[in-house]
Amino acid sequence: MNWKCTCAYDGNGLNGWQSQPGGNTVQDFIEMRLEQIFKTPLRIHGSGRTDAGVHAKAQVFHFKADWDHGADKLERAFRSGLPAGIQVYRVQEAADDFHARFSATGKRYAYRLFEGWARPWEARYCWELGRRRLDQFAMNAAAAQLLGQHDFTAFSANRGDGSEDNPVKDLRMLEVRRKGATLTLVTEGSGYLYKMVRSLAGTLVEVGLGKLTPQEVREILESRQRTNRVATAPAKGLWLERVYYGEAAVEPAE
């Protein structure tokens, strides 16, 4: 049986999604709980890796195991034995060929910025800008330069583990929305390179501060080279919001 699961997590204090020798990752904690439930080690496969400190509202993973008690009971079994910052809130039986990563057709991320100093319970989940103020219109003009299918090497980073990804991605949405002192960068695309969203966010902030122009952002994209002109935004402001399979998105829990 192939199980498709959706989870949410608070990335603060976690070492990211992917299992590591030192543990303390979302994958490690979920696999430990599965071993308790099924009495045997099981491997899960996520839709993608999120860095240490990055949050998720609707991360998707799958695993294969026989279970005769239905999806509801399996979902209930996940409600205990996980850290408070990790929640598996949807469990469904999936087709045998479903793969959380390779079946995905796109993702949506959001990056949160705050002009000023956020309240303590909000500061853990956004990039505080202090006295700096952003030009939203210039940021959106630069974002428009990045839409479409491009080689995004200039906005990626080396994982350092020898892995490689196709640098050509289709960026379907990239815009900056404002609500008072909060600005949210929302992006949807076919996929993202390592640290790509944080690099896009950091670069658009540079535009908003008047340190880069929209045309210079286009030149950076076309250079296909990572340089120190591309800033990387802090992890704590980034959220994985949705994963798409076909035309449908796996929606976050209300």
What residues are labeled active site? Answer: 51
Residue 65 CA, chain-centre distance (Å), reads 27
- d(C-alpha 245, C-alpha 223), whole Å: 32
**Measured distance between the N- and C-terminal CA atoms of the chain, rounded to whole angstroms:** 28
Secondary structure (DSSP) of 200-226: HHHHHHHHHTTSS-HHHHHHHHHHT--
How far, in whole angstroms, is CA 188 from its chain's centroid?
11
Q: Quick count: other Cβ atoms within 10 Å of Cβ 53?
A: 18
Identity at 7, one-letter amino acid code: C
Task: Yes or no: say if 113 and 200 are a contact pair by the CB < 8 Å rule.
Answer: no
